[in-house]
Structure 1
Amino acid sequence: MTDADERAAVAERAARAGARVADERFRSDIAVETKGEVDVVTEADRAAQRTVIEAIRESFPDDAIVGEEEDERKTVPDEGAAWVIDPIDGTNNYVRDIRVWATAVAAVVDGEPVAAAVVAPALGDVYTADAEGAYRNGEPIAVSDVSDERRATVAPTLWWEFDARDEYAAACEAVVRRFGDMRRLGSAQITLSTAAAGGLEGVVSNLRANPWDSVAGVFIVRQAGGRATDLNADRWRHDSTGLVVSNGDLHDEVLATALAVEEST
């Protein structure tokens, strides 16, 4: 097994382990804390993150860990090996008993993802990506081949704070004026994975994404044949401003949507 193969196996194993912990507590009487006006966290988030880290440490004890909860580092190093984890992406869905949430794990080397897993146990879906491609429940997936804007569905993603509601409104307006339909799923990692599997033609935000909300899903999209850039149409990185993801055929249109949101500020 190559190092890349091992990292892909560990990413999936760790994500599955964390997802099991979160799923055991799903739709239970769990206490909810707030980290901001709408950002919430539960003990399930913390327990799942600890489980993910334990699974990674069994094989890669010295790698850096980038995680949403507790005292893990919050930025991706540009050199060396690291793991980017989100124990429950979509916690607002989770605490509302909505099934759209996932545990996400990405393996990164020198700032670039090399493997990823997004496990959505309440939906029964496991998305993975390695050096060879992208998969859902073990079967290869590919982005949509839709090239007609009127047949396309695009999702605005990430969260616009209350002082940026004009941007949120602009994002929704820009999507519905350009494309056939819009979805907002409430979990960036599931949204990106859905695009990788052809369920969406685009995913768009003018914001800088947290790495735990984005790195795994972007890698899955790319390995499924999709494209991800920043607002300048440059290749998206973990520290980019703007997240513009598409099936490739409609990238210019999705990018124009993101720029329209940015121009509204």
Structure 2
Amino acid sequence: MSEDTADAPVDDRLETAVAAAELGGRVALDSFRSDLAVEAKAGGPMDAVTAVDRAVQERVFEHVDGEYPDDAVVGEEDDALKSVPDRGVAWVVDPIDGTNNYVAGNRVWMTSVAVCRDGEPVAAANYAPATGDLYVAGGGRTRRNDDPAAVSEETDPESFLVNPIFGVSRAHRRELSAVVDTVLATFGDLRRFGCAQAALSGVATGELEATVSTVELNDWDTAAGVHLLRRAGGTATDVHGDRWRPGSEGLIASNGEAHDALVGAFEPVG
């Protein structure tokens, strides 16, 4: 079951989104597996940031501003906007999604660029420089490295691979613990990539059947990946089963084959 329709708007900014993701990703790749000065943000020692994160965001912003100087830009680092406006066009940038992986030399990290119009993602580029994979979608079909992508056709929830997406705070970890128990008791198996955009891209390409979060996630962790999976035939809702938008309560993103079962398993009680 696909949530999107064939007449979804084509975003004229897709080419710029792809170029910006690739430019930023190459900046990050230049310092990958090198000595890095790592800072801890407000979330504690697992909430890491490096000078490379900031340099990548600056390079992406610079490219976007050169093409569309009047557009709003949302980004994880420094003083950029932190949420997608309800009206107008906004770019949503995660310079390195999966910074802890990046710092450790793990190849699962991405530079993510999405375009939102009136609060809805309409174009996306997720670039994984360490593996060479580029995930792209505008108004047409999602593509990985120029090949069409599609969600898994698995229909049996007991065979679903589910990736929980949570932050590093104590509150998020408590929620994660409950979700892990539910996944292992009700669904097939669990994966934890440590990179939200990689998980969402994985649903879009059939590597996973679902990703789940019961907490509000940052727009830069979600917007691009949600658009990719929708354009690959998947479904993305909040924890109550309503259409997901930036700022929604939680995220349940799946291949659409047993989405109601996922919502039923994770929707808050009361």
TM-score normalised by structure 2 residue count:
0.93
What are the Cα deviations for residues 72-111 of structure 1, in whole angstroms up to 9, with x where unaligned? Answer: 0101111111100000000011111100000000011111
Residue 160 of structure 1 deviates from its aligned partner by: 5.0
2:30 partner SS: helix
- Do the aligned residues in 2 keep the contact of 1:66 with 1:76 (CA within 8 Å)? yes
1:78 partner SS: coil
- Do the aligned residues in 2 keep the contact of 1:203 with 1:254 (CA within 8 Å)? no
Equivalent runs, 1:77-92 vs 2, <5 Å: 77-92=85-100
Aligned position for 2:113: 105
Residue 256 of structure 1 deviates from its aligned partner by: 2.5
Residue 230 of structure 1 deviates from its aligned partner by: 0.6
Root-mean-square deviation over aligned CA pairs: 1.5
Q: What residue ranges of structure 1 are gaps of 5+ in the alignment?
A: none
- Rounded to whole Å, the distance in 2 between the matches of 1:31 and 1:165 is 26
Report whether the alignment pairs 1:133 with 2:141: yes
- Do the aligned residues in 2 keep the contact of 1:171 with 1:257 (CA within 8 Å)? no
- Do the aligned residues in 1 keep the contact of 2:47 with 2:168 (CA within 8 Å)? no
Equivalent runs, 1:43-62 vs 2, <5 Å: 43-62=51-70
Moved more, 164-173 or 36-45: 164-173
Q: Select the structure that is richer in helix.
A: 1
Aligned position for 1:25: 31
Equivalent runs, 1:245-256 vs 2, <5 Å: 245-256=253-264
2:12 partner SS: helix
Aligned position for 1:188: 196
- Rounded to whole Å, the distance in 2 between the matches of 1:24 and 1:256 is 44
1:167 partner SS: helix
Report whether the alignment pairs 1:257 with 2:265: yes
- Do the aligned residues in 2 keep the contact of 1:143 with 1:225 (CA within 8 Å)? yes
Equivalent runs, 1:223-238 vs 2, <5 Å: 223-238=231-246
- Rounded to whole Å, the distance in 2 between the matches of 1:61 and 1:104 is 19
Per the alignment, do residues 4 and 163 of structure 1 end up closer, same or farther by CA in structure 2, a change over 3 Å counting? closer
2:131 partner SS: coil
Q: What residue ranges of structure 2 are gaps of 5+ in the alignment?
A: 1-8
1:195 partner SS: helix
- Rounded to whole Å, the distance in 1 between the matches of 2:103 and 2:218 is 21
Aligned position for 1:16: 22
Q: What residue identity is the alignment partner of 1:116? A: A
Residue 30 of structure 1 deviates from its aligned partner by: 1.1
2:78 partner SS: coil
1:22 partner SS: helix
- Do the aligned residues in 2 keep the contact of 1:160 with 1:168 (CA within 8 Å)? no
Q: What residue identity is the alignment partner of 2:169? A: E
- Rounded to whole Å, the distance in 2 between the matches of 1:233 and 1:47 is 38
Report whether the alignment pairs 1:146 with 2:146: no
TM-score normalised by structure 1 residue count:
0.95
- Rounded to whole Å, the distance in 2 between the matches of 1:153 and 1:225 is 17
- Rounded to whole Å, the distance in 1 between the matches of 2:122 and 2:110 is 20
Aligned position for 1:42: 50
- Rounded to whole Å, the distance in 2 between the matches of 1:61 and 1:228 is 30
Moved more, 53-62 or 9-18: 53-62
- Rounded to whole Å, the distance in 2 between the matches of 1:19 and 1:184 is 22
**RCO greater where, 1 or 2, for CA within 8 Å and sep 6 or more?**
2
Equivalent runs, 1:158-177 vs 2, <5 Å: 158-159=166-167, 161-177=169-185
Aligned position for 2:222: 214
1:155 partner SS: strand
- Rounded to whole Å, the distance in 1 between the matches of 2:203 and 2:28 is 24
- Rounded to whole Å, the distance in 2 between the matches of 1:31 and 1:53 is 23
- Rounded to whole Å, the distance in 1 between the matches of 2:172 and 2:144 is 35
Report whether the alignment pairs 1:124 with 2:157: no
